[in-house]
Structure 1
Amino acid sequence: MRALIADDESHLREYLEGQLKTVWPELRVVARAANGIEALRMIDEEAPDVVFLDIRMPGLTGLDVAAKLVESPKPPHIVFVTAYDQYAVEAFEHSAVDYLLKPANIERLEKTVGKLKARLKPSSGEAAVPAAALQALLAQLTTGGVAAPAPVAAPLQWIRASHGEETRLIPIDDVIYFQSNDKYTSVFVADGESLIRTPISKLREQLDEQQFWQIHRSVIVAARHVAGTRQDFRGRLMVQLKGRPEQLVVSRNYVDLFRGM
């Protein structure tokens, strides 16, 4: 069996591919796309049996790609992948098209793989989702039905970072703070420091502002790890962290965030 994974976040493509290797080792991921346009081209070139489509991608969304695939004589089996389209889950639950919530856990992925294997068995006689069924689902998701509310971009859930010679996939909940330097941004977690190339200004846009506070142009701290604040001998406001010795400087532009603490 051959598969394509389409997601605009490379670390989530790699994460899903790794999970698939665990639960479906005989499946070959033959293509990886970063957007909907790339996905269509690669599907045409590689003719995968299964495609995993992120719903929100630049260029064409996963729903756009599916709408074009359903017009082909033999469309692949489609699994939608979403981080935040909770409103759409009800529609998927009652359709022949499967879905996964990011990041896909092993138990849920095993169920999806079980369904796909059943459909892909030559003896089953079950083809990919009929065009009419898929078209009905897409219409429900895009023309008012359960999909009426426009989804908001989801905050970052995972960080792909370098740690020495290895690459780590760090859950965002494990991050204590980010600190930028000349070329990299350091990601501090309980067991050490890893590095990413994302500038802190770009990173700020991807974080939940209720959970992560920017306290300096080069520092973003996880609110749940803030123990309190104090002033040092120079009169600077310092953030104290729970269970950690380092203290982080709050620049003047962000002092108001801590008024009343």
Structure 2
Amino acid sequence: MRVLICDDEPLARDRMRRMLEKIPATLCVGEAENGQELLEMVPRVHPELILLDIRMPGMDGLQAASRLSDGDNPPAIIFCTAYDEHAIEAFKVNAVDYLLKPVRQEDLEGALSKASRINKAQMSAVRKELGEEHDPDSSEREYISARSRRGIELIPVADVRYFLADQKYVTVRHSQGETLLDETLKDLETEFGERFFRIHRNALVALDYVEGMEHKGSQYQLRIQGIAERLTVSRRHASAVKKLLQRL
């Protein structure tokens, strides 16, 4: 992957370049100090991905990303910044990821992996969630935004296995692991009730990933695709869950 670094701080560019050197199949094709220099370099070095700071003198990162997004086949963008308040604006210009400084090696590797998988359909879904493309026939989000140690993370709803409530937080389990959400289980059930069903007062499960239900002693448990642990079905919900699974 051809990567261009844009940051007004030389030490930050040096650190990012050293991190890239540790990642196989990546090549740093250049460095820019601000948005204007970035726009001038892109046609010369043809990057597939830009690691972009936001606050820079002259043209900032958001302005440069907006200009790039207007072109044909723009490069993917990962924002690397010390400030978290620009996340929504960043995703409006099709950012693949939003990493908070100091960027960790494993987080950069994860963002590069995501960039290699992202496609236009996913970006369209992100814009729809942010209100730029409104589908009158659907009020559901396709992505859930969550704040993590890496910054702002977007989780595809189609990748969610289940939501599990614990006190005031909800854990969302997906293919990449677990992430905490600052949302209520009730609100999630209201929004995604066609795709998830309640098996316990603290759990919502994705219909698409249920493999079956087992009777273990006095409890019923669900088998979830790709997950070793079993989820307990409460006695209150057991009958409704069995009927639902029989119709699938």
Instruction: Give the TM-score band, short-chain normalised.
Output: 0.3 to 0.5
The one of the two structures with greater contact order (alpha-carbon pairs below 8 A, sep at least 6) is 1
What TM-score results when the alignment is normalised by the length of structure 2? Answer: 0.46
